[in-house]
Structure 1
Amino acid sequence: MDGAAGYEVDGKLVASPEIAGSGRPEVRTVDAFGQRSAPVRVEERPNDDGWRRAVGGWLDDFDDTFFARRYHLSAREGCVNPSSGSNGRLVLDMPCGNDTAVLRARTLLRLDESPELGRVVVVTDAAGPRGKLVLDLVPGTPDRLGPIPPADAVRVVVDDSVAPGTRGAGVLHRFETVLTDNGVRVLQDGTQIAALPVVPRWREASVLIGVTPLAGYPGRVEIDAVGISGSRGPEDEVVDVPVVAGTLRVLEPEEAAPGIGVARAPLRGVPSARLRATVRLGDGGDLNAAVAQLGSAKVPLRPMVSGWTATEGTELTLTGDLPAELLTTDGPDALTPFGLCRARHRPR
């Protein structure tokens, strides 16, 4: 209501008339002088399950604890902590402040041939006041895209600039990105809030869900459900083991890697392993010929996505297959050194 300084919901003063819960609360507007309006009974938002049928693919209600089998979490270690809430939701606690978590679903979005090509649904409270939800759809399997996505990516951003004033703190909303043969529509709880004149040229893509908590310390985001059309779930079982390189920057070819290594225990006896590293490019950065050094082995790295614009701030996910000699059951306990470096020429 225009002129309202706050609201009184069942006798409690709040900043927004929208609250989590059930029933029909009594709401009054309160102005700057403390004057209250006549009470209004607010209807509970209907629980529309039609979106589940519209997805026609993979649905995740976070009803089990095997989170890492379904998503790769890209975030500062220790600053983004996933857990299962008592209400059956994924809870991302962010105690460090000013953090963003990016979930890459291991299930790919696969487009159909009908007028509606595909749909991705996220039910979350991330897009509340001064929070943000970023949905990236991109060919390949990068872990982050950074501020400048590749040209063929589809990026949807929902924050205070999109349908402002319609989201309350701590309240879940359903955000649907619908890809059609004449553009992309963005829905909030079934109502269109944005449109993009973009038709993807690819037929399948990774789904990256980036969430930034509401302003405050510490931060917290809840995700209640994710739906991705065209696929029934992850096809390969993958185990992620986080590692930290000996240096937090990419070394030049003539630089010696620091004498810091990583444990080889996760590699012992596995059928195959792949190193993934997401790096942020500095001014004039170029990683067209990058290698990872793990002990005496040097692993050529390649970008997970083509079509990047190599400008300052770009985040690029590189990957390389580890050689068989690193996967044996014998050998050293640690691989030293471990670092990322540029190469003068890409190894053949």
Structure 2
Amino acid sequence: MDLQEPALPKRRTLRRVAIVAGGLAVIGAAIALLRTPEPVESGPRPVPPPQTTVKEFAADGIVLPAPGNPPAQPASLSVVPGPQRLLVAWGPERTGKPEPDRAAGYEIRWGRGTTLTNVRLLSQPVAQLDALENGTSYQVEVRTVDAFGRRSLPAVVNAEPKAPDNDSAWSFVDRFSSRVVPEPQRWRLGGTSDCGRATRGEGNDGKRMVISGQCGTEPLVLRPRAPFKLRDSATDGELGRVVVETDHPGQAGELTIDLVPGPADLVGGPFASSQEDPTLPPGSIRVRVTGEATAFAEIRAAPGMARSGVTADLSPMAPAEIGITVRWEVVVRTDGVRLVRDGKVVAASDAVVAWREATVLVGFIGGPTGLHAAVDLIAFLGAPTAAPVLVVPPVLDTGRSVVEAGSGLVTPSGGARVQGTTGGQLRVTLVPTNRAPTEDQFTVEVGGREFPARPAVAGQTPARGVRYPIVADVPADALVLRADSDTLPIRVRGPIRRGEGAARVVSASVELAAPPGAVSAASGSGTDVPLALTRIALARPSARFLDAAGQVIGQGGVVPRGRLVLEVTADGPGGQRLGGELAGLAGIEVRLDDQRIAGIPTVADGPGTAGVWRLAVDTTGMAAGEHVIEIKAIGVDPRAAFAVAYAPFRV
């Protein structure tokens, strides 16, 4: 017994230990559970799809507008056939008839026969249908779209594109229909940086050339290699003309046409407000056309040109139209220069040119969203002319700025040389950044040697911020390539004053002379495509308050308590100018201080385009102080970014 009694406490102790151990095990398991992280999905969470619908909604105190009567259909369609295109119009500018009642925009459909496979939304009562086949019948239907997306009955027309019946006796012409567009034998594209390109178009632009880029306010300049030559004798006072057919700058930006009496690639400088432009080389003429909502055209001349004193009767400029080809003609006469837009004189200068031959520079400057300009034709009327035989030029490496004169030579003097040429002319454009040096102080280094440079136009002197084109003639044995056998290094040398920056080198090209009997080399792949278009844009929203008498309350102004009218506008032309095409509108949402108070769907019969809506708003219960209305336009296409506007006010 004595031996067994002590055994009981041992068993209790073991039991306690077991319990404690078990407790530790349970607690440990709990700790393990608490410390084990929840499973995490690998990779980023998916982005929710963009909103593409709007539901009708009205908060307390908000009264939504009612649709009212459906829109009227276009009264009739006017069609002007052109080469591989149809111009369809139904508004007052082109037909003399008013736009349909309750029109916020339009929907146009077209196709061969009765198969209407193409559709486009528009903010303007005119459309150009491109990339069509001459001699083929197309059916076109146009419907009016109101602010709620309701469609009218269609106006219908059938027409065939066709080439012009009586074409002009051009001395030079390009319709950009060859395999390679533009043909290197005929054209050079220049600019201040590698920010754009000239190519065959795609889709609706597939039968013409497109100039595309993201160059800000800097131009892309297309130069024909053939010079523009005037006739020896005038016909009805005309010596010759340059013709450009393009839809630029209907969307936005600028179009310039320069006539320069010398081998220049780029000219001009800061905007000059007078008709005499001191940034132009002597004897030069510049035509300048601006787009945006209000079109504007002018002719500028270099200082010192003779003046005839003759004036011309001018027609008013028609409003700029998006995507519509315009024929611009620069007419050089014995008594000055005229600018003709679609057969009407819209600008004139009495400056008389003294030259008989000039370089033509066609410049394209884009708008806020970039550049996308379609070109159908560039041609000359005048004395016979032709582009020189093409020797394919190498890539040029110029450096970014002028090198100080007298410093060591840096270009290679030995190695492979450019083949198939008897020499070349280097064309370089400089922009002085400080006090300008004199014109005869620049040289061009190439092949380990220096050659004198001269102004491309005799008499031009360097000026701060102004493009200054120079040229240098170089023999064939100096055209020494870099080790890659593709690049020709050149450097421009000139004075650099202490404490001042060197002149910038903004562009360069080389025209190589071909030996006798040579023919132009094949060049270009024909596979280049335009830079991507900016995505289609929605109508641009805005808002304002009206008091009980219908008077506008200024933005940020004090609104009285009671019922007011909130007028919401979606500007169709503003959206179409941004993207070139108008995106379909799903609806409008309105928020007050970040709280949704209204939703207006605009897809009754299909996507909306634009519109004006008036909402009744009760401000009785609003707190005193500042408030903000947010207007959000939402599209049916997820590719179109929503557009937002704000309207602050005080109660």
Normalized against structure 2, the TM-score is what? Answer: 0.46
Max radius of gyration: which structure?
A: 2
| Paired residues of 2:422 and 2:475 also in contact (CA < 8 A) | no
Q: In the aligned structure 1, how far is the partner of 2:487 from the partner of 2:424?
A: 15
Q: In the aligned structure 1, how far is the partner of 2:165 from the partner of 2:331?
A: 14
Q: CA RMSD in A?
A: 3.9
Q: In the aligned structure 2, how far is the partner of 1:269 from the partner of 1:48?
A: 39
| Paired residues of 1:17 and 1:27 also in contact (CA < 8 A) | no
1:135 Cα deviation from its structure 2 partner? 0.2
Q: In the aligned structure 1, how far is the partner of 2:488 from the partner of 2:387?
A: 33
Question: C-alpha offsets along residues 13-33 of structure 1, whole Å, 9 cap, x if unaligned?
Answer: 4333332217655364867x9
1:116 Cα deviation from its structure 2 partner? 1.1
SS at match of 2:126: coil
Q: Does 1:279 align with 2:430?
A: yes
| Paired residues of 1:169 and 1:214 also in contact (CA < 8 A) | no
| Paired residues of 1:68 and 1:240 also in contact (CA < 8 A) | no
Q: In the aligned structure 1, how far is the partner of 2:172 from the partner of 2:225?
A: 11
**Residues 1:308 and 1:24: Cα distance change in structure 2 (over 3 Å):** farther
**Residues 1:138 and 1:253: Cα distance change in structure 2 (over 3 Å):** same
Q: In the aligned structure 2, how far is the partner of 1:13 from the partner of 1:263?
A: 61
1:69 paired residue number: 185
**Residues 1:338 and 1:237: Cα distance change in structure 2 (over 3 Å):** closer
2:339 paired residue number: 186
1:18 paired residue number: 126
1:270 paired residue number: 421
2:280 paired residue number: 149
**Residues 1:34 and 1:89: Cα distance change in structure 2 (over 3 Å):** closer
**Residues 1:293 and 1:260: Cα distance change in structure 2 (over 3 Å):** closer
- Residue 249 of structure 2 aligns with an amino acid whose one-letter code is A
Q: In the aligned structure 2, how far is the partner of 1:263 from the partner of 1:135?
A: 41
**Residues 1:37 and 1:83: Cα distance change in structure 2 (over 3 Å):** same
Q: In the aligned structure 2, how far is the partner of 1:74 from the partner of 1:172?
A: 23
Question: C-alpha offsets along residues 283-329 of structure 1, whole Å, 9 cap, x if unaligned?
Answer: 32224221122243111111111232532122122121223432589
1:56-95 to 2 correspondences below 5 Å:
56-64=170-178, 65=180, 67-76=183-192, 78-85=194-201, 87-95=206-214
> Which of 222, 242, 248 is residue 395 of structure 2 equivalent to?
242
1:81 Cα deviation from its structure 2 partner? 1.8
1:234 Cα deviation from its structure 2 partner? 1.1
SS at match of 1:341: strand
Q: Identity of aligned pairs, percent?
A: 27
Normalized against structure 1, the TM-score is what? Answer: 0.81
Q: In the aligned structure 2, how far is the partner of 1:141 from the partner of 1:169?
A: 34
**Residues 1:279 and 1:242: Cα distance change in structure 2 (over 3 Å):** farther
| Paired residues of 1:80 and 1:99 also in contact (CA < 8 A) | no
Q: Could you say which structure has the greater relative contact order, defined with CA pairs below 8 angstroms and 6 or more residues apart?
A: 1
1:107 paired residue number: 226
SS at match of 1:143: coil
**Residues 1:38 and 1:198: Cα distance change in structure 2 (over 3 Å):** farther
Q: In the aligned structure 2, how far is the partner of 1:135 from the partner of 1:51?
A: 25
- Residue 328 of structure 2 aligns with an amino acid whose one-letter code is F
1:117-128 to 2 correspondences below 5 Å:
117-128=239-250
1:301 paired residue number: 453
Unaligned runs of 5+ in 2: 1-91, 93-97, 110-119, 130-137, 270-278, 297-315, 497-651
Q: In the aligned structure 2, how far is the partner of 1:336 from the partner of 1:190?
A: 46
Question: C-alpha offsets along residues 133-168 of structure 1, whole Å, 9 cap, x if unaligned?
Answer: 100011111001122112311110111342666332
- Residue 199 of structure 1 aligns with an amino acid whose one-letter code is V
1:7 Cα deviation from its structure 2 partner? 2.5
> Which of 183, 188, 197 is residue 350 of structure 2 equivalent to?
197
